[in-house]
Amino acid sequence: MTAATVATLTSPPSLPRIARRVLPGFGLTLGLTLVYLSLVVLIPLSAVFIKAGSLPWGELWNIVSAPRVVASYQLTFGASLLAAAINTVFGFMLAWSLVRYNFPGKRLVDALVDLPFALPTAVAGIALAALYSSNGWIGSLLAPLGLKVAFTPLGVLVALVFIGVPFVVRTVQPVLEELEVELEEAAASLGAQRGQVFLRVLLPLLLPALMTGFALAFARAVGEYGSVIFIAGNIPMVSEITPLIIITKLEQYDFQGATAVAGVMLIFSFAMLLVINLLQAWSAKRTGRGR
Amino acid sequence: MSAGVLHGRALARRFEANPATREPIWMKRLILMIALTFFVLFLVLPLVAVFSEALRKGWLVYLAALVEPDALASIRLTVLVAVIAVPLNLVFGVIAAWAIAKFDFRGKRLLTTLIDLPFSVSPVVAGLIFLLLFGAQGWFGTWLFEHDIKIVFAVPGIVLATVFVTFPFVARELIPLMEAQGRDEEEAATVLGASGFQTFRRVTLPSIQWGLLYGVILCNARAMGEFGAVSVVSGHIRGATNTMPLHVEILYNEYNFAAAFAVASLLAMLALVTLALKTFIEWRAGRVVTVDD
């Protein structure tokens, strides 16, 4: 320990980093980046907290804990968790099929997986509403079973599953592609059944990627607005999502109420961003894919 | 897209040929069937439904809905917003990627995370923040009113909200790409006397062109299709502040389904073109990697 301390003390102070920069433009590009980031993102976002913070605490609490708002949290977070779980299961199967099997139309399937990224949410919303309404292609099949999807909380779930599809597929797919075949070969040669190989070898390796995909889909679903409102029916206390609460408050010129609820959503967004960053770091470590 | 790794059909063929990495045929069929049923149910059917509903009342109704003045105004506004927002974020993306990928500095990870921030903010909140700044009760509301400048419920607000939601697209595409390419080539060019801009244009740009295009295409798709954020700041003035997605909503809420789906079908076509270009770029970029090997 002393030797190490002496070494650090006696080693020459490292050169200032600026001396080793060969490329020009560091100050300029970093400065412009910070200015633009502040103007477009950071200052506007801080407005939410400053505005919400100017409310007395009691009033703030009353707004964000009103029964109608709490019901919207339950629906938004519940449906988002469920949608992310559904996406994890089926997205995994889709990613597995795309990496491990050949089938006709594979390239088309691979390209269309990103449809929810490219299709405007309002278009997705009215299309899903048309499909699942009682006279739509899917709705008319479910109606005889007594299942109503459109204009119920189930409709919210369907919309959130739609917008979450690419997240799990696109996080798991590259990890599956780069998985070492030798691991499975070794397990198989040691007598493991295919199911055992999957559960004991593959799943632990893929778990961080699956969880990252889940978290990404969940975070996106919680904030989603466009695709949900057309199919949800938007009945207060039943099928009203939190982003819609903000819109409703704005339409009633209740800016403080809208800002308070937006603050809750923003805090959640920051927390999810942190979780996702940690998961991605874990995933990169587990699969040995240095960043 | 790392070099040396098999992709697509070749990779799958290797898995299917190896007894240690393939499932019994019944299980393979079962997994494929479930995965593809999910795919058709959640992705293909909504897409087909858009076009089917749009053409339900025939081509004449379809075309009439598209050439109607309010629809044309919404198309013009959507293009205008994208023409402003996309280049802004393109320039920012390149500048930010240069700073982050080509230099070491403290707080780099934090900066990268902050650039991604708009992706995790709900679109509704993204719209709300500009109301808080520029709305009648906002920070600059009184000043703007006194000087007769309209930002929210007008085109500038729509542009601002769109710039916010499409902010990360180009930067997050370029940063990993430029980091992976290292700095040696640019440093060599600089040492040999090229100016910063020459280095960027002659050395960096050729090697990031596909990634740049990729980011621009995704940025454009989101800019033209954004609904939630734009909806909050637009004020929904027909023929003046309605973008295409907002026009779709108005028509839909008026039970004018054929017209709503007709305008929606244009946006769906935009999405399909986006996906086709994206696939093409991935194929091109993949090919470049193989040739380089």
Grouping H, G, I as helix, E, B as strand and the rest as coil, residue A241 is coil
Grouping H, G, I as helix, E, B as strand and the rest as coil, residue A113 is coil
Q: Is A257 on the interface with B (CB under 8 A)?
A: no
> pLDDT band for position B6 (50/70/90)?
low
What pLDDT was estimated at residue B5? Answer: 47
Instruction: Report how many domains make up chain A.
Output: 1
Share of chain B residues as helix, strand and coil, in percent rounded to the nearest 5: 80, 0, 20
Inter-chain residue contact A181 with B275, CB threshold 8 Å: no
Q: Is B92 on the interface with A (CB under 8 A)?
A: yes
Q: Which residues 157-216 of chain A have a CB within 8 Å of chain B?
A: 161-162, 165, 177-178, 181, 184-185, 187-189, 194, 197
Q: Is A42 on the interface with B (CB under 8 A)?
A: yes
> pLDDT band for position B72 (50/70/90)?
very high
Domain containing A136 equals: 56-286
Q: Which of A44, A244, A277 sits opposite B164 (nearest CB)?
A: A44
> What is d(CA A126, CA A109) in angstroms, rounded to the nearest whole number?
23
Q: Is B3 on the interface with A (CB under 8 A)?
A: no
What sign does the dihedral B102-B107-B109-B110 (CA atoms) show?
A: negative
Q: Is B280 on the interface with A (CB under 8 A)?
A: no
Q: Can you read off the two tokens belonging to residue A226?
A: 């466009």
**What is the tens place of the pLDDT at every residue in A70-109?**
999 999 999 999 999 999 999 999 999 999 999 999 999 9
Q: Is B125 on the interface with A (CB under 8 A)?
A: yes
What pLDDT was estimated at residue A20? Answer: 60
**What is the tens place of the pLDDT at every residue in B197-229?**
888 889 889 889 999 999 999 999 999 999 999
Q: Is B256 on the interface with A (CB under 8 A)?
A: no
The yes-or-no verdict on residue A263 having pLDDT over 50 is yes
Q: Is A33 on the interface with B (CB under 8 A)?
A: yes
**In chain B, where are the structural domains located?**
1-54, 58-292
Q: Which of B121, B164, B221 sits opposite A118 (nearest CB)?
A: B221
What pLDDT was estimated at residue B287? Answer: 61
ipTM for the predicted complex: 0.91
CATH number at residue A151: 1.10.3720.10
Q: Is B205 on the interface with A (CB under 8 A)?
A: no
Q: Identify which of B1-10, B36-45, B281-290 has the greatest average pLDDT.
A: B36-45
Termini Cα distance of chain B: 13
* Nearest CA distance, B123 vs chain A (angstrom): 7
In a domain, A174, yes or no: yes
Q: Nearest residue of A to residue B232 by CA position?
A: A247
The yes-or-no verdict on residue B176 having pLDDT over 70 is yes
% pLDDT > 70, chain A = 91
For residue A13, what is the DSSP state? P
What pLDDT was estimated at residue A132? Answer: 95
Q: Which CATH class is domain B58-292?
A: mainly alpha
Summarize the confidence of residues B61-82 as an average pLDDT. 95
B chain contacts of residue A123, beta-carbon cutoff 8 Å: 50, 225, 245, 248, 264, 267-268, 271
In a domain, A17, yes or no: no
In a domain, A130, yes or no: yes
What pLDDT was estimated at residue A4? Answer: 46
What pLDDT was estimated at residue A288? Answer: 64
Summarize the confidence of residues B105-110 as an average pLDDT. 90
What pLDDT was estimated at residue A21? Answer: 73
> pLDDT band for position A228 (50/70/90)?
very high
In a domain, A143, yes or no: yes
**What is the tens place of the pLDDT at every residue in B235-282?**
888 878 899 999 999 999 999 999 999 999 999 999 999 999 999 998
In a domain, A8, yes or no: no
In a domain, A194, yes or no: yes
Q: Which residues 56-85 of chain A have a CB within 8 Å of chain B?
A: none
Q: Is A142 on the interface with B (CB under 8 A)?
A: no
**What is the tens place of the pLDDT at every residue in B9-64?**
888 888 888 888 888 899 999 999 999 999 999 999 999 999 999 999 999 999 99
> pLDDT band for position B288 (50/70/90)?
low
Mean predicted lDDT score pLDDT of chain A = 89
> pLDDT band for position B193 (50/70/90)?
confident
φ, ψ at B6 (rounded to 5°): -70, 150
**What is the tens place of the pLDDT at every residue in A10-65?**
444 444 444 467 788 899 999 999 999 999 999 999 999 999 988 899 999 999 99
For the CA atoms of B283, B287, B288, B289, the dihedral, rounded to the nearest 10 degrees, stands at 100
A chain contacts of residue B98, beta-carbon cutoff 8 Å: 25, 29
Inter-chain residue contact B123 with A219, CB threshold 8 Å: no
From the number of C-beta atoms within 10 Å of its C-beta (0-12, 13-18, 19+), residue A41 rates as buried
Q: Can you read off the two tokens belonging to residue B17?
A: 């040929």
In a domain, A196, yes or no: yes
> pLDDT band for position A149 (50/70/90)?
very high
Q: Which of B27, B111, B129, B192 to mutate to test the interface with A (most CBs of A within 10 A)?
A: B129
Taking CA atoms, A113 is separated from A46, A79, A104, B74, in Å, by 35, 21, 16, 28
